[in-house]
Amino acid sequence: MPFEITVPRLGWSMEEGTFVRWLKKHGELVNAGDALFELEGEKAAQDIEAVDSGLLVIPSNAPQPGTIVAVGAVIGHLVAEGEAAPAVVTGASASVTSSIPKTSAPANPSPAADTSTLEEPAAAPSVRRLAREMGVKLASLEGSGPAGRITANDVRTTGSRPSTVAANHVLSSIASPRARRVAKELGIDWKGVKGTGRDGRVRERDVRTSQSQPRPASTSTPTTISSRRRTIANRMIASRERTAPVTLTTRIDATNLVGLRLQFKQAGEGSPIPSYTDLIIKLVALALRKHPTLATRDEGGQWIVPASADDIYIGMAVDTEDGLVVPVVSRAATLGLFDLAKQTLSLIEKARTGKISAADMQGGVFTITNLGSFGIDAFTPIINLPETAVLGLGRIRREPVVIDDQIVARDQMSLSLTFDHRIVDGAPAARFLQTVSQAIENPSAWLLRGDI
């Protein structure tokens, strides 16, 4: 009996994905567990394994690379020798019946298989999708990434087009106070008004005259929204709609944290040297052992708390060219600090080279996001569903503070905790933030107690 090959669900909210390519040829023998095709779901591409064995049937109307496919859609079949595959309909295309002849040699591939098995330039799935959206052929590009890999910047540089500005559009840099006031009242940008005064000065009459003149046609063009950007947008909206978010912010002394990392750097022991984010991931994981409610996951209306310290997986927000992704550090509470640093470094590298998998982003119970490197002091992070809380890290800044009636220079930073008030009340959340603050202010004692 033919076995249907369907599009699986790669994430809790996934309803559709992007078909990337077949990894097997039409007529090829496939064993259970073999990588069958590549599918891009919520923020990551993943090789989909066969769950049965047989000869692969790829119909002529199978999805092409880059096609959006719905979860559960049938895109092919696995059959026994000589067995005919039923018709497969994709979208509005006509159904086609494909079969494998009873022979040991693979049959000639269908047109769909020919297209999908052609060798493509080295590029991440998200980069290939961007090229399709911008109408850029990857084969015509020379990659600037490692080993000639094509990056998103290569595609954008090739696909960009200079904008045009109307020849009669004159920007004035001078306007009279009356002209500015009238422009504000009328809702007119006086900088776009052609001045008739001395040296092109914009006067009141120029503003009022421009109001009656037809405005030049807009030169703006619509922005192409990638499927990853849509996924991020949908998840952000879902987070706001399904949670009762409250954000608590506190200012802490990070002098000892800075000193500890400096000691790691000076000692030169261990590779890689733990970053500030690595240290805080470890400290937050230890704090969650004392406050497990903040690590609750909302699983279909059931609130699940980690059963043990080994179940504390911490997500870290990573900024990439194609949008935000949140890889997950496994066993953060029990993992050694240097092993944790190696894991985060590997996850960040995979995220920024487009090699992150869905498995690398699953199981998180708490997320940390750091905007300190951008000079941000405090912000309001958004909860990463189905988690309960997220911690935002601000920049570390040397500031004067009063200690024992003396003004001294100390390293200060802000922490912003957003939590779901449906699950956690304000006081328990505040106590957790207190614990995290104490851990960061005295990291050595906490890390030694955590068996780093």
pLDDT reported for residue 231: 79
Instruction: Find the CATH number of the domain harbouring 84.
Output: 2.40.50.100
Residue 92 and residue 63 in one domain: yes
Q: With respect to residue 31, please indicate whether it lies within any of the assigned structural domains.
A: yes
- Percent pLDDT > 70 in the chain is 80
The string over 94-113, giving b where at least 16 C-beta atoms fall within 10 Å of a residue's C-beta and e elsewhere, is eebebebeeeeebbebbebb
pLDDT reported for residue 293: 96
Q: With respect to residue 217, please indicate whether it lies within any of the assigned structural domains.
A: no
Instruction: Find the CATH number of the domain harbouring 235.
Output: 3.30.559.10
Query: Among 78-92, 160-174, 191-205, 408-422, which is the least confidently predicted range?
Result: 160-174
pLDDT at 363 > cutoff 50: yes
Residue 296 and residue 269 in one domain: yes
d(CA 448, CA 452): 6
pLDDT reported for residue 331: 94
Residue 101 and residue 16 in one domain: yes
Higher-confidence position of 12 and 372:
372
Q: pLDDT-derived band of residue 207, with 50, 70 and 90 as boundaries?
A: confident
Q: For this structure, is 278 an active site residue? A: no
Residue 56 and residue 181 in one domain: no
Higher-confidence position of 287 and 321:
287
Residue 206 and residue 239 in one domain: no
Q: With respect to residue 293, please indicate whether it lies within any of the assigned structural domains.
A: yes
Q: pLDDT-derived band of residue 96, with 50, 70 and 90 as boundaries?
A: very low
Query: Among 17-26, 60-69, 216-225, which is the least confidently predicted range?
Result: 216-225
Residue 195 and residue 94 in one domain: no
Residue 192 and residue 320 in one domain: no
Q: pLDDT-derived band of residue 118, with 50, 70 and 90 as boundaries?
A: very low
Q: With respect to residue 248, please indicate whether it lies within any of the assigned structural domains.
A: yes
| Residues 39-61 pLDDT 10s | 887 667 788 888 888 899 998 88
| Boundary (domain end) residue, out of 212, 236, 260 | 212
Higher-confidence position of 28 and 214:
28
Q: With respect to residue 219, please indicate whether it lies within any of the assigned structural domains.
A: no
pLDDT reported for residue 189: 83
Which residues span the domain enclosing 404? 227-449
pLDDT at 153 > cutoff 90: no
Residue 320 and residue 343 in one domain: yes
Rg of the chain on CA atoms, in Å = 28
pLDDT at 165 > cutoff 90: no
pLDDT reported for residue 167: 33
Q: For this structure, is 425 an active site residue? A: yes
Instruction: Find the CATH number of the domain harbouring 184.
Output: 4.10.320.10
Higher-confidence position of 42 and 85:
85
Catalytic residue among 47, 169, 310, 421: 421
pLDDT at 21 > cutoff 50: yes
Residue 239 and residue 183 in one domain: no
Q: What is this structure's pTM?
A: 0.60
pLDDT reported for residue 199: 66
Q: With respect to residue 127, please indicate whether it lies within any of the assigned structural domains.
A: no
Chain CA centroid to CA 10, Å? 15
Closest of 57, 70, 59 to residue 28, by C-alpha = 57
pLDDT at 140 > cutoff 90: no
What average pLDDT does the structure give for the chain? 81
pLDDT reported for residue 194: 82
- Domains of the chain: total: 3
Chain CA centroid to CA 381, Å? 14
β-bridge mates for residue 414, sequence order = 251
- Which distant-in-sequence residues (6+ apart) come within 8 Å of 321 by Cβ? 126, 151, 152, 153, 352
pLDDT at 390 > cutoff 50: yes
Residue 276 and residue 249 in one domain: yes
Q: With respect to residue 385, please indicate whether it lies within any of the assigned structural domains.
A: yes
Higher-confidence position of 82 and 338:
338
pLDDT reported for residue 209: 81
Catalytic residue among 47, 189, 310, 425: 425
Q: With respect to residue 169, please indicate whether it lies within any of the assigned structural domains.
A: no
Residue 59 and residue 8 in one domain: yes
Residue 240 and residue 336 in one domain: yes
pLDDT at 450 > cutoff 80: no
